[in-house]
Amino acid sequence: MYPQIITYLLTFIKFQEQIIRTLLTLLIGKSMFDKPKDQQPVNKPYRKLQVDDLPIIEIPEKLNYRNLLTEYQEKHGKSLKPVRRHKNAKVSVPKGMKCPKCGAPSDYLYANNGDKGQYQCKVCSCLFSDKNRFSKDILKCPHCSKTLDKIKERKDFDVFKCKNDDCPYYQKKLNGMSSKEKKQFKKDPQSFKLRYIFRQFHIDFQPLSKNSPELPVVDLSRIYASPHTLGLILTYHVNYGLSARRTSAIMQDVHGVAISHQTILNYENSVALLLKPYVDHYPYELSDQFCGDETYIRVNGKWHYLFFFFDAVKKIVLSYRVSPNRDTASAIQAINDVLLKMEEIPENLTFVVDGNPIYLLAQHFFAQNDISFDVKQVIGLTNEDPISTEYRPLKQIIERLNRTFKGNYRSTQGFGSDHGSVSFVTLFAAYFNFLRPHASLEGKVPVVNPKLSGLPTMPARWTKLIELAQRWIVEQRSA
């Protein structure tokens, strides 16, 4: 009898749940029957991407119509008259239009092909249309010198393609296909890349722009906690990866200091503001082996991405950029953080990354700005190619950094704001570079500072690091 009652009650509870969900849907206007989304980050295989060489860039010749009119008068003994227009002309040249090549006003422009939109300048004989082909650089295929056609517009770049069927690049790729690939190509041509493609970036970002650091205005002397207490809080919260609530509890239970978890988060944000310019602009001594990767963190209930770039020999975190998107712009800014820390960019600079295509696009963006480096991609978990075999150890080093960060981050259960995530990551980078001993460095910290290493306890080192950052900010303001 009892099992039947339990079954009946469970059925009745499910019926009640359906009624409650229906009422909430009518009340809120949003379906309450959707299954909860998977809380795990999306892990899809990377799309294969091939980046071609840079195109031939022709800068259009610019002339001055006034000089041309003067030359015409000296050569012919008379001035060049404006265009004489018919009174009943169906097509007229807009008054504000100018020749894109010499700048001649509309008085010297013809409607060259009626109402089809082509114009001709009487001064320099330039043919142009409303698209104004002389207003931008002309991109040509480096293999056949034919002008590239724009085929797509993406978020960060425009895609240009060489459509010349006689292009050597296209013919070589076409002739190199097997009979099976040719049959597949006829059915699905989009699955093959045979033509030359160039991506022209339009990201509003200037690489290697060494702007003055943003110096915060934070006065830690006004907080109620003593410097030693602040050092203890940072030691528990950052070094040992305790959450703000557990740090609050241990301060009360062990040290008898009553402090709320929100106050700890406020201290974290204030210290991070002070340390960030110091960590970002410190004169690091770097090696020639750099690796990068991105990992997941949770911000405001959504997955964000943390881009790490790391000196594999000196064990120094060089970039720790948090972004809501795993896109080319974020990869560009992360690599730029590394380049800014170099006194001079070496000729053989190489970054070892995973198979994410955004790093190849970032490399292409910097090449368009005359900044060259090589990118080695380690694909997958097994060594299927020579590059993965050679550079797998560096990829494993950055993976260990990710695991070390996750060990400190896991207790936070994510962050409630973008500012909070940046603060925590900043403190982790400061701890990793200046305070954390490393086994591969014979127990030394990556950045050895005698003023820090001579102190006996970790809270004292945190306090001294904050003091060094404050002094550096004062010196920068007075400089």
105 and 145 both lie in a single domain: no
Counting Cα atoms < 13 Å in the Cβ hemisphere of 371 gives 20
Mean pLDDT, to the nearest integer, of 413-421?
86
pLDDT level of residue 2 (50, 70, 90 thresholds): low
Indicate the number of domains in the chain.
3
pLDDT level of residue 71 (50, 70, 90 thresholds): very high
Least trusted range by pLDDT, from 3-7, 409-413, 469-473: 3-7
**Which residues, 6+ apart, have CB-to-CB distance to 457 below 8 Å?**
231
145 found inside a domain: yes
pLDDT, the chain, mean: 86
Determine how β-strand 290-299 pairs with β-strand 350-353.
parallel
pLDDT tens string 245-299: 999 999 999 999 999 999 999 899 999 999 999 999 999 999 989 999 999 999 9
pLDDT tens string 313-369: 999 999 999 999 988 999 999 999 999 999 888 888 999 998 888 999 999 999 888
Residue 354, domain CATH: 3.30.420.10
466 and 375 both lie in a single domain: yes
More confident position, 32 or 321: 321
pLDDT level of residue 90 (50, 70, 90 thresholds): low
Buried b / exposed e across 126-147, counting CB within 10 Å, b at 16+?
bebeeeeebeeeebbbbbbeeb
Domain that holds residue 71: 57-129
23 found inside a domain: no
389 and 331 both lie in a single domain: yes
306 found inside a domain: yes
The domain boundary residue, chosen from 180, 201, 222: 201
The domain boundary residue, chosen from 183, 201, 219: 201
Counting Cα atoms < 13 Å in the Cβ hemisphere of 475 gives 8
pLDDT tens string 361-376: 999 999 888 899 999 9
